[in-house]
Amino acid sequence: MENSEVDLEKVKRIFFIGIGGIGMSALARYFHQSGLIVTGYDKTETVLTKKLVEEGIRISYVDQIEILDKAADLVVYTPAIPKDHLGLNWYQENLFPVFKRAEILGMISHYKKSICIAGTHGKTSTSSMVTYILRECGVTASAFIGGIPTDYGTNFLYGESDWVVMEADEYDRSFWSLSPNIASIASMDADHLDVYGSHDVMKEGFEGFIRKINEDGVLFIMDPLQKELSKGLKSELNKKNIRIKSLGIDSGEIQAQEVRVKGGQYVFDYVSQRYTITDFAMKMPGKHNVENALVAISIALERGCDPNDIRKAIGSFSGVKRRFEIFCQTKDLVMIDDYAHHPTELRMAIDAARNLYPGKKLTGIFQPHLFSRTQDFYKEFAEVLDELDECILIPVYPARELSIKGISSETIYDELKIQNKYLVDKNKVLDHIKSSETEVLIVLGAGDIDALPAKLKELMKK
């Protein structure tokens, strides 16, 4: 049985099904740090689950009724869990309160003042930056983050203030559960077409999220995107006294101007009707991160933070693990790790590498994430990967999906036009790298390719 609401104040014991996911583990940490008894299940032991166990959360890795907390007041699951999961079915059949992760996040957002960061990419970097700036400026917001900010080493931060920063996930229309006071949308590229069916329907999904903004709230949205919003939606927002603020590089009401690369950093000026703040410098490369910073700065100013404190915070923010993370840098070799798994994200990462290391040979190792996404975008993937000097493709990471006939990494490989292209088994990637002349290497993908950088570092030591 799935309920419409539960009184979180009365919950004492929670069981998580799929506790090792980045979003689920953040929720588990929230309740654990709030003093509740938290236990859970996941299919496999990972670095994340080991860390949760170290923090005092008991986790089981077998799908058996015996391991369940039969005294749980609340059960939380991720949509990635298969429908035939024994534990999930047992809880539902025995009429426990069972909720999706997004629904619980939504309940938290209802009784907190919520800053909700949406977009098909950039959510994690932007929400991490917002959290860091607010905290550096004295606003100790709680935060649920879909990655690990380097400055904090955790995907959840417990804060003293009423404010909470959340990623607004478009997958499965999860962000419809949220109740933002401040919202942002950085991108609406086609994705998750297995859920939405078409790009237009996906855009309607984002409009549904915008409708969830509370009265007297504010929406920060990239300038080209606000032009796509329907007149009816803008009229609805106007009636609720919701302000729409458009942002962009040299366009929109709030602009990043004079964007330049200086001393290995991106530098820009922040210009709006109210503020002109010069010389923001940040460690993270790429114009997409300038756009993310525009959002973060605007939200911090909306919260009344001091412009000089914001500038200092942007300068000291160290980024997010697996978001253009340079994990090896010598005179002759640079290695970068990036979570990119959508064609637009790949382009951003590859462009950033080109800008930082002009004239260097650029090699990319890409693991496609999901068969459905590979089917939807294999031509776009090939077009972007052709910008590399050398492309190494490893097999598709299926995550929650079964294979699709005729769809594999070879589907992308066949579309590639560059001469130096290789299909390599995941277990033989290190051998391939050892035998090739590498100058700048970028690891790309959202699957278990995340284990590769540690192996590459070990290889470099040897």
Three-state SS at 55: coil
Residue 168 burial (C-beta neighbours within 10 Å; 0-12, 13-18, 19+): buried
- Check residue 306 and give its pLDDT: 97
Neighbours of 75 (CB within 10 A): 24
Identify the structural domains of the chain with CATH numbers, from first to last. 8-99 (3.40.50.720), 112-316 (3.40.1190.10), 325-461 (3.90.190.20)
- Check residue 264 and give its pLDDT: 77
CB 169 within 8 A of CB 104: no
Kindly give, in sequence order, each residue whose CB lies less than 8 Å from that of residue 342, ignoring residues fewer than 6 positions away.
120, 121, 189, 191, 373, 377
- Check residue 331 and give its pLDDT: 85
- Check residue 440 and give its pLDDT: 95
Residue (of 146, 137, 142, 213) closest to 182 by Cα position: 213
Show the tokens assigned to 311: 């500038």
- Check residue 1 and give its pLDDT: 39
| pTM for the predicted model, two decimal places | 0.84
The sheet carrying 74-77 orders its strands as 58-60, 37-41, 13-17, 74-77, 98-100
Q: H-helix or E-strand containing 200? A: helix 199-210
Give the model confidence (pLDDT) of 241-254 as tens digits.
Answer: 999 999 999 999 99
Residue (of 40, 171, 162, 184) closest to 108 by Cα position: 162
Phi first, then psi, for residue 269 (nearest 5°) are -105, 145
- Check residue 195 and give its pLDDT: 78
- Check residue 2 and give its pLDDT: 45
- Check residue 4 and give its pLDDT: 59
Q: Which residues of the chain have pLDDT under 70?
A: 1-4, 462
Kindly give, in sequence order, each residue whose CB lies less than 8 Å from that of residue 31, ignoring residues fewer than 6 positions away.
11, 14, 38
- Check residue 166 and give its pLDDT: 96
Distance CA 159, CA 155 (A): 13
Q: Sign of the CA dihedral 324, 365, 377, 198?
A: negative
